[in-house]
């Protein structure tokens, strides 16, 4: 078959499951190999794809297979730099999960490697494929709120104790901070909706609840990061990670390079789970009310008045199939097309780098008396390469 694409997955368990959306033998796209240090994850991977699937505990063996044209990297954050650089150097196109890396220098090394190797790099910022976010972008681009001046995001993470304080996420050596780890999504969306990148940030925050829990799992165990409604209130959580030095609440302010001001607030112990964005322009304001397609809408306020909970106009968001509100099948389809043919994409490696850079600098601000931190811009040559 012409234009056949064979794909390997590094980090085949956990989030690596997203790669299965790419497996479409009728279209010439097949997942053929998985690497994971967890034998059970490899067993499940082979169980889904068939006994002839190549599996290995050593990702280098996967990269050494010349028939593999593209690789998904879905390992924990602190391994992204090593795995993405190795995959690009091995000549593979790469789908790299967000955040791109846990440091700015790590991101810049990945960008430079992709440029030098001439391989296609795609970062999994699936929120850009969420229909509720796309509706907000469409309304902004249509000019209905005038010139954008401010963007705010409140992020309520009901599953914070389950998903982020039981394993590597809680350890800053492996994640830098949750402002970067989790916030990379939202910083990227704020940059996208507001049309600029952070040039200066400041932040406050702390570890305010989960550090009071003394029930920790053994350092030799991974920790069970599954969601349970029974884990409520947050202080009733058990089996938390023995290393815990990231914040469970953080708030950052951003000054963008186009003069827009933005803010992002993240809390890991709310009872409810959703993100609430508002973007304010010179002629109106939009806000998402809920974020689950089929139940949520974007509201537009563009007439003067007092409290109008539903706005002046409503844009309901229809139900859609697939994980993360349909964003996962959509982003994987875009990556497959990009790996095969190139062309424009909704996500951007430079934007992915800049969301990490803003989160990284905000974590530094937060841990150093909220000092304002200038976000280092990406190297001009690298920016030019990716713009092209
Ligand atoms: N875009 C999204 O919506 C989204 C959602 C969830 C996770 N993620 C990202 O996906 C990545 C993985 O997250 P996760 O929760 O699945 O993590 P995880 O801890 O479950 O690890 C993923 C897999 O990588 C394997 N692994 C660990 N070390 C390895 C190594 N050295 N070589 C090969 N495999 C190794 C693990 O055994 C596991 O199967 C993270 O970067 C996370 O930020 C993104």
For ligand 1, say whether the CB of 223 is within 6 Å of any of its atoms: no
pLDDT at residue 228, rounded to an integer: 84
Burial classification of residue 164, based on how many CB atoms lie within 10 Å of its CB (0-12 exposed, 13-18 middle, 19 or more buried) = buried
pLDDT band with cut points at 50, 70 and 90 for residue 2: low
Report how far ligand 1's centroid is from the alpha carbon of 78 (Å).
Answer: 10
Mutate to test the pocket of ligand 1, among 13, 76, 335 (most ligand atoms within 8 A of CB): 76
For ligand 1, say whether the CB of 281 is within 6 Å of any of its atoms: no
Residue ranges of E strands in 211-340? 249-256, 261-267, 274-281, 284-289, 297-301, 313-316
CA of 15, closest atom in ligand 1: 16
Report how far ligand 1's centroid is from the alpha carbon of 10 (Å).
Answer: 9
**Cα–Cα distance for residue pair 200/260, rounded to 1 Å:** 11
| 3-state secondary structure labels for all residues of 271-290 | CCCEEEEEEEECCEEEEEEC
Report how far ligand 1's centroid is from the alpha carbon of 50 (Å).
Answer: 22
For ligand 1, say whether the CB of 38 is within 6 Å of any of its atoms: yes
Report how far ligand 1's centroid is from the alpha carbon of 219 (Å).
Answer: 18
Say if strands 297-301 and 274-281 run parallel, antiparallel, or are unpaired.
unpaired
* pLDDT digit string, tens, across residues 266-281: 999 999 999 999 999 9
For the record, the structure tokens of 111 come out as: 């960008």
Check whether the bond before 99 is cis (ω within 30° of 0).
Answer: yes
Residues 300 and 279 sit within 8 Å (Cβ to Cβ): no
For ligand 1, say whether the CB of 84 is within 6 Å of any of its atoms: no
The set of residues, in sequence order, having a beta carbon less than 8 Å from that of 12 and lying 6+ positions away, is: 19, 34, 35, 36, 41, 42, 44, 45, 55, 74
Q: Does the pLDDT at position 254 exceed 60? A: yes
- Count H helices, E strands: the chain? 12, 15
Report how far ligand 1's centroid is from the alpha carbon of 12 (Å).
Answer: 8
For ligand 1, say whether the CB of 14 is within 6 Å of any of its atoms: yes
Write down the CATH number for the domain with range 128-328.
3.30.360.10
Q: Is the dihedral of CA 254, 258, 261, 266 positive or negative?
A: negative
CA of 38, closest atom in ligand 1: 37
For ligand 1, say whether the CB of 144 is within 6 Å of any of its atoms: no
Mean pLDDT value of segment 208-215: 98
* 316 strand-pairing partners: 297
Check whether the bond before 233 is cis (ω within 30° of 0).
Answer: yes
Mean pLDDT value of segment 332-346: 97
* pLDDT digit string, tens, across residues 341-383: 999 999 999 999 999 999 999 999 999 999 999 999 999 999 9
Report how far ligand 1's centroid is from the alpha carbon of 99 (Å).
Answer: 11
**Cα–Cα distance for residue pair 108/146, rounded to 1 Å:** 35
For ligand 1, say whether the CB of 78 is within 6 Å of any of its atoms: no
Report how far ligand 1's centroid is from the alpha carbon of 84 (Å).
Answer: 13
Q: Does the pLDDT at position 43 exceed 80? A: yes
Instruction: Give the residue whose CA is nearest to atom 20 of ligand 1.
Output: 14
Q: Does the pLDDT at position 1 exceed 60? A: no
Q: Does the pLDDT at position 287 exceed 60? A: yes
Summary mean pLDDT of the chain: 97
Query: Is the pTM value of this prediction over 0.85?
Result: yes
Exposure letters 238-257 (e unless 16+ CB within 10 A, then b): ebbbeebebbbbbbbbbbbe
For the record, the structure tokens of 38 come out as: 């967890």
Report how far ligand 1's centroid is from the alpha carbon of 382 (Å).
Answer: 27
The set of residues, in sequence order, having a beta carbon less than 8 Å from that of 16 and lying 6+ positions away, is: 9, 10, 34, 36, 41, 45, 72, 74
pLDDT at residue 195, rounded to an integer: 98
Report how far ligand 1's centroid is from the alpha carbon of 13 (Å).
Answer: 7
């Amino acid at each position: 078959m012409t234009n056949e694409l064979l794909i390997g997955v590094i980090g085949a368990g956990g989030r690596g499951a997203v790669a299965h959306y790419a497996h479409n033998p009728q279209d010439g796209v097949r997942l053929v190999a998985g690497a994971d240090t967890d034998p059970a994850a490899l067993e499940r991977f082979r169980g889904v794809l068939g006994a002839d699937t190549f599996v290995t505990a050593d990702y280098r063996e996967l990269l050494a297979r010349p028939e593999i044209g593209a690789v998904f990297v879905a390992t924990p954050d602190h391994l992204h730099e090593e795995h993405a650089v190795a995959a690009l150097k091995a000549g593979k196109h790469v789908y790299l999960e967000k955040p791109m890396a846990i440091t700015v220098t790590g991101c810049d090394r990945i960008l430079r490697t992709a440029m030098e190797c001439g391989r296609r790099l795609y970062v999994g910022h699936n929120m850009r494929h969420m229909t509720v976010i796309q509706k907000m972008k469409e309304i902004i681009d249509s000019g209905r709120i005038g010139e954008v001046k401010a963007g705010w995001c409140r992020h309520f993470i009901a599953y914070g104790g389950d998903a982020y304080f039981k394993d590597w996420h809680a350890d800053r050596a492996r994640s830098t901070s949750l402002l970067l780890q989790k916030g990379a999504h939202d910083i990227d969306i704020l940059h996208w909706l507001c049309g600029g990148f952070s040039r200066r940030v400041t932040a406050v925050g702390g570890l305010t609840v989960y550090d009071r829990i003394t029930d920790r799992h053994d350092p030799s165990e991974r920790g069970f990061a599954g969601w349970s409604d029974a884990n409520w209130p947050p202080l009733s959580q058990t089996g938390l990670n023995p290393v815990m030095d990231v914040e469970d609440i953080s708030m950052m302010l951003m000054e963008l390079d186009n003069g827009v001001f933005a803010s992002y607030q993240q809390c890991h112990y709310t009872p409810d789970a959703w993100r609430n964005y508002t973007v304010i322009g010179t002629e109106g304001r939009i806000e998402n009310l809920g974020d689950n397609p089929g139940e949520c809408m974007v509201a537009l306020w563009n007439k003067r008045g007092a409290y109008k909970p539903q706005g002046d106009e409503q844009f309901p968001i229809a139900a859609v199939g697939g994980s993360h509100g349909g964003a996962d099948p959509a982003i994987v389809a875009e990556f497959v097309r990009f790996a095969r043919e190139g062309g424009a994409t909704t996500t951007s490696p430079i934007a992915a780098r800049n969301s990490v850079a803003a989160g990284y600098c905000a974590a530094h601000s937060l841990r150093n008396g909220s000092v304002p931190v200038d976000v280092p811009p990406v190297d001009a040559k690298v920016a030019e390469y990716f713009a092209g």
